[in-house]
Structure 1
């Protein structure tokens, strides 16, 4: 049966101005525009004057952690009246005590979006404070930089990390090298009911933002067998959203367990594929010291990393790797120039001038999350404390790369940041380095056209023969002011020609999900 969607403006994203008044869909695929279609096998759907855009693609998030957070914890910090709240450890204590009082005694509590740079004390809470505030429960706090965190004594002992973090605070390599232990413990702690709640919340939240496809960077190499990532891959095949998995493995055995579920050869992301740390934990690898004299370092020897990437590239894999500081970006670009295929640089926050010129020629896919820099400039001021003026000025030149044809791919790094794509677009349009801000069209391209190109799939554009996945909203995203992106939501979401129905929360819905026909991820 054909479906004709009418009474809307269909922004194809072929250009800023290309638009149509109706769109015809058959079997989940776009088959025409501005056509009259009548007959017994045609249905018409009135979209009530909405603006229509291709479903968004989040090119870099950590789905398992986002689901776990939704089921076993919450964000601890938020922007309230133009400042981060809570802004001191007394406020953090109130939040943790309140949540712990509502939770089952002894259950694992996870708190994300902790902003240590915004705390009056400038630090994470230690194990003894967490023990008191959560009445001895196992607690895991995830700092917004994604490369540091804190855990209570109960969790520290369960993970056997007392010698690594005597005070319960992990940062940089000590944090990143032990994330597998955290996820293994999470796997043993999460209940079917909690998992069902987390999945429903994640899928429904993405749909509410107009996100139809997520690139899920999953898995760690530092556990004997990564059963949680295997379960995530199994479940993701049955999600109403399209999931595209990037296994974060260098271990071939772990990779073989998830690769048959995937629709293309992809590998990398964060965890084992992190070439350096983050600015917040002062572990991103720069060629000059931080303002306090500390230095970050590369996590890989050049030759070791080159052999690994070349091995995957020669077998037809797209390789994705985390690089934030200029030294790490230089290392990765140099390797990408020597191997076959087109690959990804994740974050790419502070490239050297030389790296920018080489990236403009090489044109790898670059995943970006400028929402963090937007928040930092206005509320956190972490870059100002940690970096020199020249380092701050070297932030990724978004406009220059876009003009050179480098496909920038929008993403959130959730749950490090909220899954909100419009916060990231706001950060692109009011970028930290003002003259490198993107236009509304280029910002939206990062979440549509460029994501589809990166995946090599017929999505991200409204075009004949392409996937009929789109969302509607009351505003024209190509014309509104950056500030109007705050609080933006989709009016309706359509995936493969069918309206998205929110997943119910509960074990019954979870069982029905398990019986859904699997699709490749």
Structure 2
């Protein structure tokens, strides 16, 4: 329980009503908002006060699509190969990549791991082959993951250790060979993590999230191609006490297996990526398009037909589960969308009572937009991809026709059709930075698909709460709801649209309390963990 507190001398955007702001907010003992005050209204005197120095306050952000344990593990063990340095993605050639890997190998034993490798930024325009990795670091296990997380490359020693040599072409995995073997890679990475390094990775991930105004993350966890599933076991053990509201989406395809973990959940959720993917990604040339890629690599890969998607989803839907599936290209979207339509029609559900969702929904056909809107589907989108690509990478213009690029992430059309769009990062693919996604939404490359700043902020707060059946308690700053908010260094409604990505978070509050990340040292981390409030996932 906290004491009643008045937050004042600030500009508060509750996001309950567009164009309106308030000047103060009274938070009660249990972390719920008692009242918000107009400018000029008299304020209560016999309560604790916190002067916010004229800064701006908005509802806290909810990242509706992230891979939490992967981000924590990679931050503790792997080299970030997608850094933006002086306006360029680095490394940008095999020579610079080789130097980075050799430097990493010299400083640490065990496998040499890298993530975020941007294929389009490399002068060679491809992933290095196993023979090239072997020549750079003979006999070392090397695993490199592409920036989009949908292809990877391995040294000979790594292929042998993982037992996947027969699946790789020149040491490279893409398409289903990559997606459906990530459990083996995850298990290897997690085995390399000592408790101390795991604590550091978790602490760093939480520090980044809290520092970016996040109070909740929808976490897509679990793999099926390797047993035991160390990642999900650790998540279930630790996540309830990590401070943020971490919402688990199990990436399991069997109802019985998922049901064994359901008691840990605030509501039954399953799906996401990996075994729930309908197709791949553009950068790896595996998103299932209606036309060929410009480099002649085909039209992408459809992992599940509409019938196969129906057979996957049906047992969960009929048992009352909320489901989600990755679909980027129109053929992938069609598989999951048609399955949802069939199941909803069988039940007579026109309102999406189970709040079914599709992740990414990046290149829908016009009819798919209308159909998703008529069902009020929840769509987790990442407009920051297009924003970053247009400025720094330029991969889509080399891969896709102008017509296909114009159809990318059509936010305005999706909102107008009736879809619920949730902004998200797909971390570790992108950093936990809400204002990059907001900038991408407000400055969409196709002007007719831009949404307003108010709509973008709600898509990063209210929509994420709605997607977890929590909109009555969270997502906007209204009396009766929890005081989850982020304090900004400037007013985004006064900023130029091109400067939105530069807005910084000064602090994050959850239920009226300011969040602080756990310490990195193992003993201090565990002490914090053991005394933390336990939450359902």
TM-score normalised over the length of structure 2? 0.92
Q: 2:453 aligns with which of 433, 436, 440?
A: 440
Deviates more, 1:261-270 or 1:27-36: 27-36
Match of residue 338 from structure 1: 342
Q: Does 1:310 align with 2:314?
A: yes
Match of residue 431 from structure 2: 418
Match of residue 518 from structure 1: 534
Structure 1 residues 188-223: Cα deviation after superposition (integer angstroms, max 9, x where no partner)? 211101100001000110111111110000011212
Aligned pairs (5 A) from 1:349-360: 349-360=362-373
Asked if structure 1 preserves the Cα contact closer than 8 Å seen for 2:518 and 2:528, the reply is no
User: How much has 1:135 moved relative to structure 2?
Assistant: 5.8
Asked if structure 1 preserves the Cα contact closer than 8 Å seen for 2:304 and 2:332, the reply is no
Match of residue 233 from structure 1: 236
Distance in 2 (CA, whole Å) between partners of 1:364 and 1:203 is: 30
User: How much has 1:343 moved relative to structure 2?
Assistant: 0.7
Structure 1 residues 257-295: Cα deviation after superposition (integer angstroms, max 9, x where no partner)? 432211111110001100001111111112222221513
Q: 1:149 aligns with which of 147, 152, 174?
A: 152
Match of residue 349 from structure 2: none
Distance in 1 (CA, whole Å) between partners of 2:207 and 2:373 is: 37
Asked if structure 2 preserves the Cα contact closer than 8 Å seen for 1:131 and 1:137, the reply is yes
User: In structure 2, the residue corresponding to 1:95 is in which secondary structure?
Assistant: helix
Cα separation, partners in 2 of 1:109 and 1:32, compared to 1, 3 Å: farther
User: How much has 1:428 moved relative to structure 2?
Assistant: 1.2
User: How much has 1:157 moved relative to structure 2?
Assistant: 1.5
Cα separation, partners in 2 of 1:133 and 1:469, compared to 1, 3 Å: farther
User: In structure 1, the residue corresponding to 2:79 is in which secondary structure?
Assistant: strand
Asked if structure 2 preserves the Cα contact closer than 8 Å seen for 1:209 and 1:488, the reply is no
Q: Does 1:53 align with 2:53?
A: no
Match of residue 24 from structure 1: 26
User: How much has 1:375 moved relative to structure 2?
Assistant: 1.9
Q: Does 1:504 align with 2:511?
A: no
Identify unmatched segments of 5+ residues in structure 2: 345-353
Asked if structure 1 preserves the Cα contact closer than 8 Å seen for 2:7 and 2:24, the reply is yes
Asked if structure 1 preserves the Cα contact closer than 8 Å seen for 2:378 and 2:419, the reply is yes
TM-score normalised over the length of structure 1? 0.95
Distance in 1 (CA, whole Å) between partners of 2:426 and 2:403 is: 26
Q: Does 1:428 align with 2:438?
A: no
Distance in 1 (CA, whole Å) between partners of 2:140 and 2:504 is: 36
Cα separation, partners in 2 of 1:108 and 1:485, compared to 1, 3 Å: farther
Cα separation, partners in 2 of 1:440 and 1:190, compared to 1, 3 Å: same
RMSD, aligned CA: 1.8
Asked if structure 2 preserves the Cα contact closer than 8 Å seen for 1:12 and 1:54, the reply is yes
Q: Does 1:36 align with 2:46?
A: no
Q: 2:98 aligns with which of 78, 86, 93?
A: 93
Cα separation, partners in 2 of 1:214 and 1:474, compared to 1, 3 Å: same
Distance in 1 (CA, whole Å) between partners of 2:287 and 2:395 is: 14
User: How much has 1:247 moved relative to structure 2?
Assistant: 0.5
Distance in 2 (CA, whole Å) between partners of 1:449 and 1:468 is: 13
Distance in 1 (CA, whole Å) between partners of 2:507 and 2:82 is: 29
The number of residue pairs the alignment matches comes to 517
Identify unmatched segments of 5+ residues in structure 1: none
Asked if structure 2 preserves the Cα contact closer than 8 Å seen for 1:289 and 1:295, the reply is yes
Aligned pairs (5 A) from 1:182-331: 182-291=185-294, 292-331=296-335
Deviates more, 1:93-102 or 1:125-134: 125-134
Structure 1 residues 144-201: Cα deviation after superposition (integer angstroms, max 9, x where no partner)? 1221011223322211111111532111111011101111212221110110000100
Match of residue 79 from structure 2: 74
